[in-house]
Amino acid sequence: MSVAERVPFPDVTLPVAGLVAAVVGWWAVTVAVAVPPFLLPAPTDVAGRLAGSPELYLSHATETLRKVLVGGVVGVAAGFAIALLVATVPVLKRAIYPYLVAMRVLPKIAVAPVFLIYFGVGFGTAVLFVALVVFFPVVVGTTAGLSRTPESHLDLLRSVDADPVRTFLAVRLPHALPDVFAGLKQSVTLAVVGAVVAEWILSNDGLGSLILVASENVQVDVMLAALAVLLPIGLLLYGGVTLCYRAVTWQGD
């Protein structure tokens, strides 16, 4: 039986039902209270925006997704590399790990103006910002996971002169997987947020830029349509990481 057949997929019935109920409630409010469309457009108005200019939202969504994917890959790779270094060199863990934890709680939006001064506006700057947002959950989670390997297991492997690479792949990494993927789940959602923030300050395209321009012109229906496109992007990325984790842990069983 294939992995796809064995790995359980999440039940989406209740989430979809909740979304439908929320949209119906939104529509009912706009009808019952007669809210002005410029304050709260009806779902049909938002859908009309999407249907009327699909190429506009598709092009901006593509740019946002590019930033998320490229910045995410860079941030995850850098975070995993630093975590591996910190976890294998005890003096580095004592020296820099507390600062990594402290910088994780630093509001990243406060760093965006600094990026603007040093790197200017453009795709590359936005990617660097997304990578920074992604980096810290990955490095903190992976370092914590790599530190969870039972010392007795490592002592046993040292006693038989086990190869360090095989020790890492066969023992340390499997023990770290829950923390690694916990960091990845945080990072994938933060990457979408980071891309939108970057498009407000560091870039001139993407859904974040579209939302900013729409807010300046009080086009609430355009803003909500852009948010409606952002939502499935975030959900699909998060779901992809979750399915990867289930596939990896199933293969390890």
pLDDT, one tens digit per residue, over 28-61 is: 988 888 778 888 898 999 999 999 989 999 999 9
Per-residue pLDDT tens digits for 187-213: 999 999 999 999 999 888 899 999 999
Per-residue pLDDT tens digits for 64-121: 999 999 999 999 999 999 999 988 888 888 888 888 878 877 888 888 888 888 888 8
What are the distances in angstroms from CA 147 to CA 93, 140, 173? 10, 11, 10
Domain 53-252: CATH superfamily is: MetI-like (1.10.3720.10)
Q: Domain locations in the chain?
A: 53-252
Comparing 7 with 198, which gets the higher pLDDT? 198
DSSP code string of 27-73: HHHHHHS---TTTS--HHHHHHHHHH-HHHHHHHHHHHHHHHHHHHH
Tokens describing residue 230? 């952002």
Interval 18-34 mean pLDDT: 88
